[in-house]
Amino acid sequence: MEKLPKIGLPIIIGVIILIIILSKSIVTIGAGSAGVLYAPFKDGVVTDQPALGEGFHIVAPWNSVVAYEVRQQELSEKIPALSSNGLDIRIDASIWYQPSIEDLGNLHQQKGEMYVQRVLQPAIRSAARSVVGRYTPEQLYSSKRDAIQTEIYTETNKLLEGQFVQLNEVLVRDVSLPETIKAAIER
C-alpha cells in the first residue's frame, strides 16, 4: 500500500502532461475554412504544402494553425470619386472575393490576416476612382452602369494579380450624384 502513492503521483502527473500535449496538438478546421500551419522550429509559415482542409488534424504541440475563411465573402464599399468633369460621385459597390486556397500560406506570410484592408480595399478603391473618372455624371447615372461595373472588375483583377486573392464579382449597387446634377438629369 505504501508504494501506491509513490507510483500513483507520477502516473497522474504523466497523464496530465499527456492531456496538455494532446490538447495543444489537436486542431479542428471548421466548414468553409482552411488552416495555415506555422512551424517555429522549421521555416515559420509553411508555404510548400497545401493548406490544412476542413476537419480534424494533429500537429506538433509547438506549432500553431491560423484558420482562414475560404468561402466566397462580400465586402461592401462606399467609394468617393470624381467624374470626368470633376463632380463628386459616390459609388456603392459589393465585392465578392475569396482567398486563393492554393496560395493560403503565401497570403498569410506576405499579406497577413488583414489582407482585405491591405490588398483588396485599396485595389477596389483605386480601380473604381480610375473608372469613374472616365465618365460624365449623366453616363454614370444611366446608360453606362454595366460597363462601369465590368471595367471596375477588370481593373481590380489586374491589380490583384499575384496577391493571392481571387476576385469573383464587382456589383455596383448605387451611384450617388450631387442633388443638383441628379435633379437636372431627371428632368
Residues 23 and 108 in one domain: no
- What's this model's pTM, rounded to 2 decimal places? 0.83
Domain that holds residue 53: 3-69
Residues 111 and 48 in one domain: no
Residues 27 and 111 in one domain: no
What's the total number of domains in the chain? 2
Boundary (domain end) residue, out of 18, 42, 69: 69
Q: What are 174's strand-pairing partners? A: 92
pLDDT digits (tens, 9 = 90+) for 107-162: 999 999 999 999 999 999 999 999 999 988 878 877 778 889 999 999 999 999 99
